Structure 1
């Protein structure tokens, strides 16, 4: 699953002058070289690293074509979670049991969590991307869409090159510059790379031990809380205040139980705060999201991707198939863009009009549903669109 990495959002911003983008690609590369020298990188290394860098139009095309995230949760999850992928995940859990034991012991990250990322990012290492990483990072830095996210990764890749851990000519990965089985950016490799197999190298492309240990350490660094769940499917009473759903509403597990929310399997995790998620409205599946669920958004900001990865992690650890329910018809990409424009006209901040039902669009939908006397479950329908 090639997706824009949101880990870069955690990076400190560069001074404005260093965020220059666009213009002649050659002049831009020269600017990068000058900045690298100013940062203290060796002249020979800088010349070698940048000598063969090329602009890659395929990267820009991939960056603009992320329509898969417009799919609703049920469609998206069925597309990503197959019986074969589940079976191979369970097989890998057994095969690398000792490694997962180490990850859980050292970083507190459950094996289901990492298995799900491993599956979605590279199909358990089967396809790790064929984009030249140096070209991808420099191309995205030159592009004026998000230069502040990618420019720091160029210098991180240069540092890896100086360490002998990156070849600008042959290192390949995802279009967004991620490398290896669980797809990590260069700076994340520098900060969280682990030699899990003890061979003296961090080889995220070829060593499952290195990739899984590194992924576990990265999640821990992002705030993962050891020994705590992340997601649990629940049943909600038919008569319910649906405006209580959404990540902006947080209650204790005991409070959720007091108003009728029940786990489909086992009980809710007492002592933890949680939110109720209704990805396709009050007639679809329902989940309780614990604090660890929010860490997923440091990996990827797509709500649909995050929920699917979190749900698959629970399936890999024995949770049942969700109760899909009978959700009301949703909106397609064009309709969602129309919805976002109407919400903007009413003063809501929905971010970019992109046809993706993200957190801000959901919050605005919920507010308008409440105003109009509709079930405030944050799931936009043709009825809501018409009423607006």
Structure 2
């Protein structure tokens, strides 16, 4: 599954030069410019010529980039679509099969098996569906496209470096439409920085080696700030009288302070009462509720979609033994078209919602909460038809 960078893009480190990179124009001339830049960066001219010789523009990549409607689904619908009994069973089987690898990851990086199993499941169904887009064509096409060239142009040169190391083949390396490669879908720059030879064969082979893919994913999460041995998400129940203005990712208290306000774990004990945490209400105060610990924020470095991140984090807890979440009885939400209208109205009132795309992301949620406060409504950041009508 892929829908990046709105949803499934891995974290990118953008150079200052990339932000002003040229795009558009004749595709052949654009590729020639990339080749010339590669040589100026110190790459061998003959290698650069071979690398770029067969690159082609792929219109299907642009179509995929523009079509990401799945992220307009609400959390419960999205989670039920992605989390199947088969994915649970396969995850448990993979945990046993690669127990030694997961033990190394937990020892070296402090990351529980469920976290990487969830990514592995959602990204490629445990390696079964890694994408059939030619990776180089995808990266160059997205670099040429003027929507987000600064995200993808650095990846082209990273792929060239992988090619020079013998770990990338321009004609045959395939992956997701946004250029991610392998079982946990990593971009070339991230492979260079965080790739780990988990099976000891001298190469980082994320497409064919589960130990390589999992160890690399664990190393990347650590580099993104994962705190060893700490929880990331816990389902909770919330009292009807909670101050909803305190909920959302932009508000934190310790788990113990939340508990003093009536927020209780749905099962077991509060995982870490001493840690700062945010109460997340993905479908408002009458829907499911979660306590997000600091490690939860690392998920947004891997992926930018609120609904994907919450679902991946929740699935990780399920793979670690947590029960099925309580969907509650949330108030009706908005369709994608209605969400776009709402976003337009929020922008007109001076709020930053990011892209007007019909997707209820974190910026839209924060804007909704502010407007609910202005209108004297319960400020649970869940937009309803009633809120839209009032605006």
Match of 1:58 in 2: 60
Match of 2:126 in 1: 124
Separation in 2, partners of 1:282, 1:15:
42
Match of 1:212 in 2: 214
Partner SS, residue 122 of structure 2: helix
Partner SS, residue 10 of structure 1: coil
Aligned pair partner of 1:326 in 324, 329, 343: 329
Aligned pair partner of 2:311 in 308, 315, 319: 308
> Could you tell me how far 1:197 is from its partner in structure 2?
0.7
Residues 21-52 of structure 1 deviation map (CA, whole Å, 9 limit, x = unaligned): 00000010011011101000000100000000
Separation in 2, partners of 1:205, 1:22:
31
Match of 2:85 in 1: 83
Match of 1:112 in 2: 114
Match of 2:40 in 1: 38
Q: 1:110 to 1:34 in 2, by over 3 A?
A: same
Separation in 1, partners of 2:323, 2:153:
43
Would you say the 8 A contact 1:3–1:300 is kept in 2? no
Normalised TM-score (structure 1): 0.98
Aligned pair partner of 2:241 in 239, 242, 247: 239
Separation in 2, partners of 1:30, 1:59:
20
Aligned pair partner of 2:356 in 353, 357, 378: 353
Q: 1:181 to 1:15 in 2, by over 3 A?
A: closer
Normalised TM-score (structure 2): 0.98
Match of 2:390 in 1: 387
Separation in 2, partners of 1:90, 1:275:
29
Separation in 2, partners of 1:277, 1:10:
28
Query: Are residue 171 (structure 1) and residue 194 (structure 2) matched?
Result: no
Would you say the 8 A contact 1:118–1:125 is kept in 2? yes
> Could you tell me how far 1:200 is from its partner in structure 2?
1.1
How many residue pairs get aligned? The number is: 387
Separation in 2, partners of 1:366, 1:208:
42
**Which consecutive unaligned segments of at least 5 residues does structure 1 have?**
none
Alpha-carbon RMSD: 0.9
Aligned pair partner of 1:229 in 228, 231, 235: 231
> Could you tell me how far 1:265 is from its partner in structure 2?
1.6
Separation in 2, partners of 1:210, 1:177:
18
**Which consecutive unaligned segments of at least 5 residues does structure 2 have?**
none
